[in-house]
């Protein structure tokens, strides 16, 4: 008979675990048969001793099988999901999903809410008046079959093992271990039922992975897990040393996504959206990456992606006028505070994490799961890295409400902006691809 004690000891000593041993720990913890203190010890043993590729695949599988799984086989076509490891100003799903769906590739996406300094796609979509992210299974499938896209919140019983284990990792300083991060992300992807995944792995100050080496290791781990389960996958390593685009905050990011679908978005954000959408098309079998890039560029230029966004909003109960009059329909704070340059020079760096936390102080994010988000507040970055600024010039705008802690947000913005006499060397937006 298996005992949690023996499995913890085995991993603590650096030995490889079997599928059955990993399953015993995960299933036992979900059922309440393995207590918190033993699971915490098990996680700490993994933290220090790590897991090999096979153990990671088994851990992911047992977590994915711990609750409901979505069967997308009734939807015709190759279903490709996109996942971002989380960044500041990262509203790519709002653009990439409609672009890909407009090309006849089904997008059946489960998304999460904000926690920490990064925003959540579901919170952003709920900025649109009437937009429903809690769809029944029937509605979710109907929308994907009829219009090719649905973006909904995760069902309550999707990967309960991850919810329970993540809460324990958070309380026991075992969050940042590559096998545990990869299994957490990929268990939700496997349970979501797609045929393949494009993984946007963020790197830099505003990302979970601060260095390229860490990000590449996580990318290889996630792609390896996908392939071990017979799924297609590609990971794109993208720069999060500065906020993506210009808007940070829920309604503001929806506004920027709509502008981008109209062909008027910021250069960096547009480039990333086109790149991720092209990889999704490539995994769906639409040709080489370059062929697919041309397809998504055409969809953007023709307005097909924008019309697909309008259709998605309408089918999920939102006000479709948001596409034509986003500034009027979206709840955007009317009180604006200007943040000015304290000296002349060039914007040398912007710490994305601090910008994300600053927007939280305005009310745009959550510090705990229970916090209520203010969709109307946020930050607009007027001057980005490499831009020349004069003393007293406005470099960012704060959209604030009576509940906003403006002083704390300004303090964080002041810490995040680095102004120098010399212009910085430009950094790439995309560091590389892992396939």
User: And the tokens for 311?
Assistant: 């259709």
pLDDT average, residue stretch 350-370: 85
Say what the pLDDT of residue 249 is: 93
> Mind listing the pLDDT tens digit for each residue in 284-333?
999 999 999 999 999 999 999 999 999 999 999 999 999 999 999 999 99
pLDDT band for 88, please (50, 70, 90 cuts). Answer: confident
What phi-psi label fits residue 18: left (phi over 0), alpha (psi between -120 and 50 degrees) or beta? beta
pLDDT above 90 covers what percent of the chain?
82
Which are the catalytic amino acids?
A: 83, 162, 169, 184, 188
Where are the alpha helices (H) located in 316-394, listed in sequence order? 326-329, 352-362
pTM: 0.93
Q: Note the pLDDT tens digit of each residue in 92-114.
A: 999 999 999 999 999 998 877 65
pLDDT over 80 (residue 370): no
Beta bridge partners of 200: 84, 236
Token duo for residue 327: 């500034």
Per-residue confidence (pLDDT) for residue 137, from 0 to 100: 86
CA–CA separation, 304 and 310 (whole Å): 10
The stretch 424-431 carries a mean pLDDT of 93
Ordered domains of the chain (ranges, CATH): 4-49 (1.20.970.10), 80-323 (3.40.1030.10), 332-420 (3.90.1170.30)
CA 118/CA 244 separation, integer angstroms: 11
**Whether pLDDT at 338 is above 80:** yes
- Distances from the Cα of 151 to the Cαs of 98, 108, 200, 396, in angstroms? 10, 6, 17, 31
Q: What is the pLDDT of residues 384-419, one digit of tens each?
A: 999 999 999 999 999 999 999 999 999 999 999 999
Q: Mean pLDDT for the chain? A: 93
């Amino acid at each position: 008979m298996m005992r949690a004690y023996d499995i913890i000891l085995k991993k603590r000593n650096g030995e490889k675990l079997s599928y059955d041993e990993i399953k015993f720990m995960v299933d036992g913890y979900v059922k309440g048969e393995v207590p918190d203190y033993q699971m915490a010890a098990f996680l700490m043993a993994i933290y220090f001793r790590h897991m090999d590729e096979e153990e990671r695949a088994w851990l992911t599988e047992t977590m994915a099988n711990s609750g409901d799984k979505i069967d997308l086989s009734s939807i015709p076509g190759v279903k490709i999901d996109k996942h971002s490891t989380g960044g500041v100003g990262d509203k790519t799903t709002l653009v990439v999903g409609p672009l890909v769906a407009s090309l006849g590739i089904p997008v059946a996406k489960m998304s999460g809410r904000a926690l920490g300094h990064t925003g959540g796609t579901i919170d952003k979509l709920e900025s649109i008046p009437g937009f429903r992210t809690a769809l029944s299974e029937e509605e979710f499938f109907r929308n994907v079959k009829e219009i090719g896209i649905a973006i909904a919140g995760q069902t309550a019983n999707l990967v309960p093992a991850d919810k329970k284990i993540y809460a324990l990792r958070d309380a026991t300083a075992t969050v940042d271990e590559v096998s545990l991060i990869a299994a957490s992300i990929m268990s939700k992807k496997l349970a979501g039922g797609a045929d393949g995944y494009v993984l946007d792995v963020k790197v830099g100050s505003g990302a979970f992975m601060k260095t390229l080496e860490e990000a590449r290791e996580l990318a290889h781990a996630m792609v390896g897990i996908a392939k071990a389960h017979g799924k297609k996958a590609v990971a794109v390593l993208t720069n999060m040393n500065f906020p993506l685009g210009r808007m940070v905050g829920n309604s503001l990011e929806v506004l920027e996504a709509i502008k981008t679908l109209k062909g008027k978005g910021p250069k960096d954000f547009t480039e990333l959206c086109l790149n991720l959408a092209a990889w999704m098309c490539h995994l769906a079998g639409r040709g080489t990456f370059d062929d697919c890039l041309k397809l998504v560029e055409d969809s953007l230029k023709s307005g097909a992606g924008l019309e697909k966004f309008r259709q998605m909003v309408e089918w999920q109960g939102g006000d479709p006028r948001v596409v034509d009059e986003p500034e009027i329909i979206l709840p955007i704070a009317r009180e604006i505070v200007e943040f000015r340059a304290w000296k002349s020079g060039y914007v040398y760096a912007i710490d994305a994490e601090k910008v994300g936390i600053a927007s939280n102080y305005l009310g745009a994010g959550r510090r705990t799961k229970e916090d209520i988000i203010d969709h109307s507040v946020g930050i607009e970055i007027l001057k980005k890295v490499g831009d020349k600024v004069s003393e007293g010039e406005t470099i960012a705008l704060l959209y604030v409400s009576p509940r906003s802690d403006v002083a704390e947000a300004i303090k964080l913005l002041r810490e995040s902006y680095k102004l120098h006499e010399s212009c910085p060397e430009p950094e790439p937006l995309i560091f590389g691809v892992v396939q």
